[in-house]
Chain A
Amino acid sequence: MKFTNRQFGELEFEDNHVVMFPEGLIGFERCRKFLIVDDETTEPFRWLVSVEDGGLSFPLLDPALLLPGYATDTADGAGKTVFVVATLRAAGGNSTVNLRSPIVIDNGARTARQVILDDEGLPLQFPLGPPSPAPAGR
């Protein structure tokens, strides 16, 4: 099947690549079907891309890159993948990731949920560190 996304243009996918969010994402409850898109130009950021809304995509990060041991109990053993959702601010502002409500994907069932962790100490805006310098020529 094919669809068009604002950022990626036309994307083609097989049904078994779809990750189903039965409850949608928080604030985006109507969007249930997503793809995880690997993007060479933004790696290690991947994208959670809505199949149903061509304007909708979220940058994801593997939390192990930031915090080894994060939410290991949430992954509940084998077969689950945890991603955190990143908020990327334009040059000057610090980008952050949301550690309080990660995306947990059940790899076998191809279903996922945005969970809300009980630990109130986990920030919704965990800084990713300083932005890279402005591109050369500016």
Chain B
Amino acid sequence: MLILARKAEEEIRIGDNIVVKILGIHNGQVKIGIDAPRDTRVVRGELYREIQQANVEASRADRDAAARAAAGLKRPT
């Protein structure tokens, strides 16, 4: 891991297309602006991990559970 110290308003460039800018630092929170190409995923780490977890759980499904859930969907409410 590369460790850099940056002040407010300073930038870090990653490759040719990604700019990370420190917009401000207030009360222990850092505000960061990120410019990246549309097809580069930029997402909070917590959300990424939650989606990872959701995918892991989804991958455990079997056809019986799906058939049951399907029957539930078709049932008129």
Interface on A for B, CB 8 Å cutoff? 7, 23, 25-28, 39, 41-45, 47, 56-59, 65, 85-91, 95, 98, 100-101, 114, 116, 124-125, 128-132
Contact = CB atoms under 8 A, between A and B. Distances in A.
Contacts, number: 101
Given A27-B56, A59-B61, A86 B51 contact: no
A7 B63 contact: yes
A59 B73 contact: no
A41 B72 contact: no
Q: Chain A contact residues: over half helix, strand or loop, or mixed? A: loop
B72 A39 contact: no
Contact of A116 (B47, B53, B56, B75): B47
Interface of B: 41, 43, 47-48, 50-59, 61-63, 65-73, 75, 77
A114 B59 CA distance: 14
18 contacts: A7-B63, A25-B55, A26-B52, A26-B55, A27-B51, A41-B66, A45-B66, A57-B61, A58-B55, A59-B58, A59-B61, A85-B55, A86-B58, A89-B65, A91-B68, A98-B51, A101-B51, A101-B54
